[in-house]
Structure 1
Amino acid sequence: MIYDHRTYTCRPGTIKKHMKLYEEHGWDVQCRHLGNPVIYAATETGDVNSYVHVWVYEDAADRASKRAAMQADPDWQAYLAKSAEAGYLVKQENKILTPVSFFKG
């Protein structure tokens, strides 16, 4: 099992607009390919212009396969174009996490 932990930062004052754009054009297609995330959440304290989501995969091959299918989907490509045009995002950080031996979650 691996976890893909992603943190995105929006330009100040645009996170609600970005979330609305994603909800309307990105959420369904992303879940169609990746399944439901472990969490998808806006930051409440600290950098309030950021949000986090975590997706779980069987292994790196499963992640690569699912993400490739999503990238090839015209609906996802349309969302990415809308997101780029809006220009709300300024930063993205990805981390691949592996559970420690004693974690049974």
Structure 2
Amino acid sequence: MAITPEKPGRKASSWALILAAGLAISSLLAPAQAAPAPAKSSLSFYEMRTYYANPGKLETLKTRFRDHALRLFDKHGMTKVGFWLKEDGGDGVLVYILAYPSKAARDASWVAFRADPEWQAAAAASEVDGKLLAKVESVFMTMADFSPHPTTESGVLLK
């Protein structure tokens, strides 16, 4: 295909467009370079916590998490993996998983969390009309050797 400029100086800009298009197409056709493998996570200790809310208290519990606990988890070095509710919403059950570098780090984080004046005030304010929790279960876990290890970026777990 021949390019014939209609105006002086147009030939150079047409060639620049053709060159740019060619480079774009060749970059799409070139084999992709493998991305570097993500760094293995320094988080090797996990805790699954199950909260059983007292009747009628689940919404207040969720509000306390949204407004206070999530930020305080970050402040005290607890990495949030995820939070779940039963699909049917029944039984007032909240399950969540936190990650830590070690059991010792977990223990230190919880000591600091419970001693935090902001947490103490938030917990007291949310329980003015009665205790939120009937029961708390905690299960400690480590990653199975065949499981992919998540990596972290800014405290957020990545796939």
The TM-score with structure 2 as length reference comes to 0.58
Q: Which structure has the greater CA radius of gyration?
A: 2
Unaligned 5+ runs, structure 2: 1-43, 150-159
Alignment of 1:1-105 (within 5 A): 1-45=44-88, 47-85=90-128, 86-105=130-149
Q: Any unmatched runs of 5+ in structure 1? A: none
CA contact (8 A) 2:79 2:100 kept: no
Q: Give yes or no for contact 2:80–2:99 (8 Å, CA) kept in 1.
A: yes
| Number of aligned residue pairs | 105
* Maintained 8 Å contact 1:8/1:91: yes
CA drift at 1:46? 7.9
95-104 vs 1-10, which moves further? 95-104
Q: Which has the higher contact order (CA 8 A, sep 6+)?
A: 1
TM-score scaled by length of structure 1: 0.83
Given the superposition, is the C-alpha separation of residues 29 and 57 from structure 1 closer, same or farther in structure 2, using an over 3 Å criterion? same
Instruction: Judge which range, 75-84 or 7-16, deviates more.
Output: 75-84
Of residues 94-103 and 31-40 in structure 1, the stretch that sits farther from structure 2 once superposed is 31-40
Taking the aligned partners of 1:64 and 1:51, their CA distance within structure 2 comes to 21
More strand by share: 1
